[in-house]
Amino acid sequence: MTERLYLRDPYLTRFTAHLVSLRDLDGKPAAVLDRSAFYPEGGGQPGDQGTLGGAAVLDVQDRDGEVLHLLDRPLDAGREVEGTVDWSRRFDHMQQHHGQHLLSAAFLRVHGAWTASFHLGERLCTIDLDFSISRLDEPALRAAEAVANESVFRDLPVVARDFVGEERARLQLRKEPVKGDRVVLVEGVDASPCGGTHPARTGEVGCIAVLGAEKWGSGKARVEFACGSRVVKLVAEQGKWLSGAAAALKCAARDLPEAARRAADEALAKRRLADSLEKEVARLRAEQLAASGSPVVAQVERASLARALAAALADRGRVALIGAVENGRAHLCFARPRGAGGPAMHDLLKEALQVLGGKGGGSAEFAQGSGDPARLDEALAAARARLDQDTQ
């Protein structure tokens, strides 16, 4: 059984230990020590990283009460080794994990929303609430965020230790313990069973930023957030995005919402105009091509025009085999008049797609697909040959 030094002192980053054995974990060497300051993955918190006896610690896992240190190279069992925990990673995880405790307590206090699970990601964190997403509008999120940050700014002491007997019975735990007697307590704010690493005071969390909420499961809510130094990085990152968007739209950052709405409205109007003009072009080309009889085999400039032209020709009683090359793909649109007999368009398309090496589908009256642009002529010819064969 490994003595877990991080439980007594989450600020301990250097220690010596005896290398008890070397195991195999996912094809890599994994060291078992008699004592360790490395936190193993659990409770939504990732494992620590660092170095051990000169080898890199890539991950730390808990297996049947033993702490396995996944290494980039093997070490000799039976020797004394020095371990060094990556402090920046450890402290970041302490900020995120304790921030989650405060945020979960705030959602419970403000909205009666219980936390079902927690995930500490590389960039952002999430909590899943047993609470309807329909009740978590922007004011509701900000209310919980404000209460959580109040606990941070008060710089309250954090107690993380085993509680037993009457002392344990007096605690109003936010959730039932899974194992052990360890509880992380902030007096008057939160008491939660937890085996993770936490700071000595709430102020070390720095700040908590709720970034948004989305639906999770059956109408429940997943809340995305970040704490401490991650918030500083996010502010800089999003400031860069806003500056880039503002420069592109030629406006001040504060005017971005209105400028974006205006650009979207203009783009929609232009798209509708372009669609209308394309239909008119298809109508005019269909009138010209229909005069040559049926079937009509042609190539045009865009996939959307191919679809419009094929439909327009079918409306004029013609079978249409239309192709186009766009964005490095050959596009096929085959159509025939509604209710007409003869070869099914999806059968002709299947023949052509064997040449193109592509995919597609449709109905007897209209089918479309795409594939290798270098063989478009050959594919149209194969479809035409199949059509001629079936109509003889």
Does residue 182 form part of some domain?
Answer: yes
Final residue of a domain: which of 28, 61, 85? 85
Q: State which residues form the domain around 68.
A: 3-85
Q: Are 107 and 201 in contact (CB under 8 A)?
A: no
Q: Are residues 331 and 313 in the same domain?
A: yes
Classify burial at 211, counting beta carbons within 10 Å of its beta carbon; exposed 0-12, middle 13-18, buried 19 or more. middle
Q: Are residues 148 and 99 in the same domain?
A: yes
Helix, strand or coil, per DSSP, at residue 241: helix
Q: Are residues 139 and 226 in the same domain?
A: yes
Q: Looking at residue 219, what is its pLDDT?
A: 84
Q: Are residues 25 and 138 in the same domain?
A: no
Q: Are residues 10 and 99 in the same domain?
A: no
Final residue of a domain: which of 85, 104, 121? 85
Does residue 246 form part of some domain?
Answer: no
Cα 285 vs. chain centroid, distance in angstroms?
A: 45
Does residue 140 form part of some domain?
Answer: yes
**Domain CATH for 124:** 3.30.980.10
364 vs 150: CA distance, rounded Å:
66
Final residue of a domain: which of 37, 70, 85? 85
116 vs 131: CA distance, rounded Å:
10
pLDDT over 70, % of the chain: 100
185-221 pLDDT, tens per residue? 999 999 999 999 999 999 999 999 999 999 998 889 9
Q: Are residues 152 and 200 in the same domain?
A: yes
- Kindly state the DSSP code that residue 44 receives in the 8-state scheme: T
**Domain CATH for 51:** 2.40.30.130
Q: Looking at residue 242, what is its pLDDT?
A: 93
223-259 pLDDT, tens per residue? 999 999 999 999 999 999 999 999 999 999 999 999 9
Q: Are residues 56 and 102 in the same domain?
A: no
Does residue 203 form part of some domain?
Answer: yes
Residue 15, strand partner residues: 83
Q: Is the pTM above the cut of 0.85?
A: no
Q: Looking at residue 256, what is its pLDDT?
A: 93
Q: Are residues 95 and 48 in the same domain?
A: no
| Preceding amide of 295 cis, omega within 30 | yes
Does residue 365 form part of some domain?
Answer: yes
Does residue 257 form part of some domain?
Answer: no
**Whether residue 7 has pLDDT greater than 70:** yes
pLDDT over 90, % of the chain: 79
123 vs 388: CA distance, rounded Å:
60
Instruction: Choose from 26-30, 57-61, 339-343 the range with maximum mean pLDDT.
Output: 57-61
Of 13 and 169, the structure prediction assigns the larger pLDDT to 13
The three-point CA angle 76-77-81 to 5° equals: 80
Q: Are residues 289 and 217 in the same domain?
A: no
Does residue 248 form part of some domain?
Answer: no
Burial 2-40 (b: 16+ CB within 10 A, else e): bebbbbeebeebebebebeebbebeeebbbbbeebbbbb
Mean pLDDT for the chain overall? 93
- Which residue in 209, 201, 165, 208 sits closest to 184, CA to CA? 201
Q: Are residues 108 and 179 in the same domain?
A: yes
Q: Are residues 319 and 290 in the same domain?
A: yes
355-390 pLDDT, tens per residue? 999 999 999 999 999 999 999 999 999 999 888 887
342 falls in which pLDDT band (50, 70, 90)? confident
Token couple for 153 = 């700014």
Taking residue 310's Cβ as centre, other Cβ atoms within 10 Å add up to: 30
152-187 pLDDT, tens per residue? 999 999 999 999 988 988 888 998 877 789 999 999
283 vs 210: CA distance, rounded Å:
53
Q: Are residues 207 and 96 in the same domain?
A: yes
- What is 46-105 written as a DSSP string? PPP-EEETTEEEEEEEEETTEEEEEESS---TTSEEEEEE-HHHHHHHHHHHHHHHHHHH
Residue 119, strand partner residues: 126
Q: Looking at residue 78, what is its pLDDT?
A: 78
Lowest mean pLDDT among 42-46, 108-112, 116-120, 268-272: 42-46
76 falls in which pLDDT band (50, 70, 90)? confident
Find the mean pLDDT for residues 280-306: 90
- The residue type found at 80 is E
Give how many domains the chain has, as a whole number. 3
392 falls in which pLDDT band (50, 70, 90)? low
Does residue 62 form part of some domain?
Answer: yes
222 vs 216: CA distance, rounded Å:
5
25 falls in which pLDDT band (50, 70, 90)? confident
